[in-house]
Chain A
């Protein structure tokens, strides 16, 4: 019992961060699930984080409403942004949305009301693992019910062949926009949660590398199923914990070591598990069958 409590005290924050990162990875997955590579989510996360922080610091709103606002504001902003940028395809959409992230970050750096580059500090800690995992459960519920529904199948159709989907009566613009806004809402929610977990928000937390982290977690976990981004977030959030031991023994700096390990994991997943960690059981089965077939052939 005592040991369990001690474990919990040590890893509580890691568990909380897994939840936040899972929401972020899911926010990227939302647009990827209909074939759109959007990297705007660090910007949306910043909007959610700052909106949540400002509301908590300057109003008496209950935390649930603060979180609702942190999710709703970026989702609303996503609509006028999405209408023009979702006309772009593939890498062009990625570039335009990276631009959006930088616009938000630079605007925050130059906004005196929020202390510019220093950001806001002393935000009361309101988010714990309980709230975070409740939000994650809600998000997963939505993805679960979406899967296999009329709308879910329309999204898959758009991912597979957008013009063909259009000729079958699917309003592809509306669906893509809805997922863009939904992803923005998830990112904003995660931003609001993180602000109330780490006591602070600052523009440097929402840079390009942040959205790359989200994307890598989603891809490493696998984007064929909504469970993938959660697995990827858990794996890559826990990896630095494991690396701490390595850096203690070898004397390497933990920061560069983390980047190295992340890169290595991404490379290995793309090479050997193109559908992500979530596809591991299936891949193992396939390998076994191939081995058995090969052995029978040599026989």
Chain B
């Protein structure tokens, strides 16, 4: 398993947002994480990306323990993410946003640029070319020079995905990438996710849109009140009575 979460808990004071959650994401798979509002999905993503530390449990990436590491270290291990409430750098252009996403891949130290070494310029050209390629992949090559803050909502979401792909992550965490999108935009995001998986990135997808999740995911984990209540292939999970209860309520 590429990413494995074992017995992870996180409490905020007395509130247990995540309680003993365990699941694993296989290499090259799209793994869905669903659950009603307040189930702890975003908290779990924050735990995996290092923005929060778990109060108990372990998280491993390819056998390397990464819970408790600083976010930039976890990113260096190969986990990047997008945010539910889009967090682009609004004053930077779409291209620059993706270039920042390539931070971990760009290696030339600053002194080389200070003394005008050609190798630094070469690397910069390569990084720009690659950023443009990523923007092209999300269908925004023509918007590269636009300030991210001026892009439409759907465009911003896609730039954020391109930015997260900039470091060639092994696992891409997507936090509700289709929130607030119209059906056509949802379709394009679904195609994008499939393409990302085909390119060899594993995806952990937090989503509310159940049809999208059942279509896009190889495997689904369902959270309710911070606990895992079901885990498996989409079709079987959706038939699971506990899942139906969590989403629709129990018959009295």
Q: Which residues of B contact A293 (CB under 8 A)?
A: none
Q: Contact mask A127-161 → B, CB, 8 Å, 1/0? A: 00000000000000110011001110110110011
Stretch of B31-39, B79-87, B228-236 with 4 or more beta carbons under 8 angstroms from chain A: B79-87
Contact B91 A160 (CB under 8 A): yes
Contact B92 A160 (CB under 8 A): yes
Alpha-carbon separation in the docked complex, A168 to B87 (Å): 12
Contact B99 A169 (CB under 8 A): no
CB B171 to nearest CB in A, in angstroms, measures: 12
Q: Which residues of B contact A164 (CB under 8 A)?
A: 83, 87-89
Contact B166 A168 (CB under 8 A): yes
Does A262 touch B at the CB level, under 8 Å? no
Given B51, B88, B103, which contacts A150 in the complex, CB threshold below 8 Å? Answer: B103
Q: Which residues of B contact A163 (CB under 8 A)?
A: 51, 71, 87
Contact B113 A165 (CB under 8 A): no
Contact A168 B167 (CB under 8 A): yes
Q: Contact mask B99-127 → A, CB, 8 Å, 1/0? A: 11101101010100110000000001001
B164-194 CB contacts (< 8 Å) to partner A: 164, 166-167
Does A167 touch B at the CB level, under 8 Å? yes
Q: Which residues of B contact A157 (CB under 8 A)?
A: 89, 92, 100, 103
Given known A142-B114, A150-B103, contact A166–B89 (CB-CB < 8 A): no
Alpha-carbon separation in the docked complex, A149 to B124 (Å): 8
Alpha-carbon separation in the docked complex, A30 to B100 (Å): 19
CB B252 to nearest CB in A, in angstroms, measures: 43
Nearest B residue to A165 via CB reads B100
Q: Which residues of A contact B166 (CB under 8 A)?
A: 168
Contact A166 B103 (CB under 8 A): no
Nearest B residue to A146 via CB reads B110
Does B40 touch A at the CB level, under 8 Å? no
Given known A145-B114, A153-B99, contact A167–B71 (CB-CB < 8 A): yes
Contact A167 B80 (CB under 8 A): yes
Pick from A160, A163, A167 the residue with the most CB of B within 10 Å.
A167
CB A77 to nearest CB in B, in angstroms, measures: 23
Does B158 touch A at the CB level, under 8 Å? no
Alpha-carbon separation in the docked complex, A164 to B81 (Å): 9
CB B16 to nearest CB in A, in angstroms, measures: 23
Alpha-carbon separation in the docked complex, A133 to B75 (Å): 42
Alpha-carbon separation in the docked complex, A160 to B149 (Å): 11
Interface residues on A, range: 20 to 34
CB B161 to nearest CB in A, in angstroms, measures: 13
Does B96 touch A at the CB level, under 8 Å? yes
Does B41 touch A at the CB level, under 8 Å? no
Q: Which residues of A contact B88 (CB under 8 A)?
A: 161, 164
Given known A166-B72, A167-B75, contact A161–B89 (CB-CB < 8 A): yes
Alpha-carbon separation in the docked complex, A167 to B46 (Å): 10
Nearest A residue to B96 via CB reads A153
Contact B100 A153 (CB under 8 A): yes
Q: Which residues of B contact A166 (CB under 8 A)?
A: 50-51, 70-72, 75
Does A172 touch B at the CB level, under 8 Å? yes
CB A35 to nearest CB in B, in angstroms, measures: 11
Contact B51 A154 (CB under 8 A): no
Given known A150-B106, A153-B99, contact A168–B90 (CB-CB < 8 A): no
Contact A172 B72 (CB under 8 A): yes
Does B49 touch A at the CB level, under 8 Å? yes
Does B76 touch A at the CB level, under 8 Å? yes
Contact A156 B92 (CB under 8 A): yes
Alpha-carbon separation in the docked complex, A171 to B83 (Å): 19
Does B219 touch A at the CB level, under 8 Å? no
Q: Which residues of B contact A15 (CB under 8 A)?
A: none
Alpha-carbon separation in the docked complex, A253 to B91 (Å): 44
Nearest B residue to A172 via CB reads B72
Contact B103 A169 (CB under 8 A): yes
Does A273 touch B at the CB level, under 8 Å? no
Does B163 touch A at the CB level, under 8 Å? yes
Contact A169 B76 (CB under 8 A): yes
Given known A154-B103, A161-B89, contact A167–B50 (CB-CB < 8 A): yes
> Using a CB–CB distance below 8 Å, which chain A residues touch chain B?
141-142, 145-146, 149-151, 153-154, 156-157, 160-161, 163-172
- Identify 6 residue pairs between A and B in the complex whose beta-carbon atoms are under 8 Å apart, listed by A's number: A146-B110, A149-B124, A150-B108, A156-B100, A167-B74, A168-B167
11 other A-B residue contacts (CB within 8 Å) besides A142-B114, A167-B72, A169-B75: A145-B114, A153-B100, A154-B103, A156-B91, A161-B89, A164-B89, A166-B72, A167-B50, A167-B75, A168-B72, A171-B72
